[in-house]
């Protein structure tokens, strides 16, 4: 089996229920690298957050739900949001009570607020976050706008941000968060762009996932694996099943398959 790229979601897939990586993963990654097989964590998290988790710059990382791909410490591509949309979105967020914006960029994430609860939550997802007086003056390639509203995003900022739905995807990503990205951005699109750059076919790719935001990634490869703990819709679209994330499923499935 001539596999050249393996992509794996993090939460619920590569990470166990305690948010820990398998102790067996480092040895597997060394073996894959020796065979010339790229391993790419694929997450909605910031690149610098995932990099801190793995501690290895010399890997391929799919970050921000596919809006950015890094390899060997270099940004291969970023699905940059238009400056006009950034200004419009940040202006709208400033009018919303208890809502705070983060611009997710190539070099850092950026915010202009220092509200304590917002800071505490932002720190969980952004390992590199810089505060500036005015987000309109940020000089970076921005691929996502994350809007925080504690416990009320669905009924507070999310309906208000629908005013931008003609220009961007407006995605409710949790009880506290709404994400804005360019239309069509997802992990599957990142896989396809990465394969095109590297000259890799879907038949040479494996992918692992557990939840609905992994669907496009799993459909973009021939060898798709649903975790045993995956959502039923994900299990339905995958060719194979891996043991659960609490059973070292990704590592075991890769070893069995290869």
Catalytic residues: 9
User: What's the rounded Cα separation, in Å, for the pair 113 and 53?
Assistant: 26
Residues 63, 66, 67, 72, Cα dihedral to 10° = 50
Contact predicate 235/241, CB 8 Å: yes
Contact predicate 5/220, CB 8 Å: no
User: What's the rounded Cα separation, in Å, for the pair 99 and 149?
Assistant: 5
174: left (phi over 0), alpha (psi -120 to 50) or beta: left
Phi, psi (deg, nearest 5) at residue 90: -65, -35
208: left (phi over 0), alpha (psi -120 to 50) or beta: beta
Pair type for strands 129-131 and 109-111: parallel
Q: What stretches of 77-178 show up as alpha helix (H) in DSSP? A: 83-94, 116-125, 157-161
């Amino acid at each position: 089996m001539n596999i050249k790229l393996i992509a794996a979601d993090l939460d619920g897939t590569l990470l166990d229920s305690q948010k820990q990586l398998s102790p067996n993963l480092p040895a597997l990654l060394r073996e894959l690298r020796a065979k010339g097989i790229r391993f790419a964590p694929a997450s909605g998290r910031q690149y610098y957050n995932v990099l801190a988790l793995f501690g290895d710059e010399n890997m391929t990382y799919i970050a921000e739900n596919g809006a950015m791909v890094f390899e060997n410490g270099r940004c291969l591509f970023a699905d940059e949001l238009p400056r006009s949309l950034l200004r419009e979105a940040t202006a709208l967020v400033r009018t919303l009570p208890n809502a705070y914006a983060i611009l997710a960029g190539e070099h850092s994430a950026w915010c202009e607020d220092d509200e304590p609860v917002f800071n505490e939550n932002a720190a969980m997802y952004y390992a590199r976050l810089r505060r500036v007086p005015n987000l309109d003056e940020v000089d970076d390639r921005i691929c996502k706008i994350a809007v925080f509203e504690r416990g009320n995003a669905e009924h507070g900022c999310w309906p208000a941000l629908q005013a931008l739905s003609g220009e961007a995807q407006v995605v409710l990503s949790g009880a506290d968060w709404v994400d804005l990205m360019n239309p069509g951005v997802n992990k599957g699109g990142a896989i396809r762009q990465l394969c095109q750059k590297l000259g890799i076919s879907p038949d040479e790719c494996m992918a692992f996932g557990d939840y609905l935001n992994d669907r496009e990634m799993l459909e973009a490869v021939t060898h798709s694996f649903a975790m045993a703990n995956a959502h039923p819709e994900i299990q339905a679209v995958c060719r194979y099943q891996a043991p659960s994330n609490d059973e070292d499923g990704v590592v075991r499935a890769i070893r069995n398959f290869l």
